[in-house]
Structure 1
């Protein structure tokens, strides 16, 4: 987590590799995890006092972003899951993962 802490203070998100994700998962507590069926898993992780949301983009990039608390992270998760439900129904919706 230390290697990401400073960068997360200035960046909205960080792209990580699958190996980095494995290390992150091994060193964190999973607060929430759900298979989106469209974009792999979306997770809320906790490492010490840090709350991290991890998701996979439509291009396969694994991204993480920091949140002040679990409630804020869960708000984004709920927004994402709502869009995924609509996508599953064929709405043609798109998510901008880089906002």
Structure 2
């Protein structure tokens, strides 16, 4: 029997039966390489932004990556957390919160593009607030 503490005040016990089940199930398969690889380093993050990719990171990775960026603007969406405009060594980018566990970082060409993006996104959130049934595809 193994005792594991996920939180300091909440230890759990993993029984041998559960351990055998974990050994038999193997790694979880997913089509999203982010979930397969987990932790992202700043160099990979910056390179993916330079290539124009919308980068998906976990909130824990974002906490680490955010130390290497400068927040230029912050907008409370009232729907999906805070929309940030950041400056990285790759340029300007927007950081959105598609859900509680994920951040979507979208590269933008310049401050003007960032302003247009923020205005358009905030307009969508305003329509959502009014009940339009709109949905945001954070990775398109």
**What is the rounded CA distance, in whole Å, between the counterparts of 1:65 and 1:72 in structure 2?**
11
Equivalent residue number for residue 25 of structure 1: 66
Equivalent residue number for residue 44 of structure 2: 3
Q: In 2 relative to 1, CA 93–44 (structure 1 residues): closer, same or farther, beyond 3 Å?
A: same
Equivalent residue number for residue 138 of structure 2: 97
TM-score (norm 2): 0.62
Equivalent residue number for residue 111 of structure 2: 70
Contact kept in structure 1, 2:46 and 2:88, CA below 8 Å: no
Gaps of 5+ in 1: none
Q: In 2 relative to 1, CA 85–71 (structure 1 residues): closer, same or farther, beyond 3 Å?
A: same
TM-score (norm 1): 0.84
RMSD of Structure 2 on Structure 1 (CA) = 2.0
SS at match of 2:124: helix
Deviates more, 1:44-53 or 1:28-37: 44-53
Deviates more, 1:54-63 or 1:24-33: 54-63
**What is the rounded CA distance, in whole Å, between the counterparts of 1:38 and 1:71 in structure 2?**
24
Tell me which of the two structures has the higher relative contact order, counting C-alpha pairs closer than 8 angstroms and 6 or more residues apart: 1
Gaps of 5+ in 2: 1-41
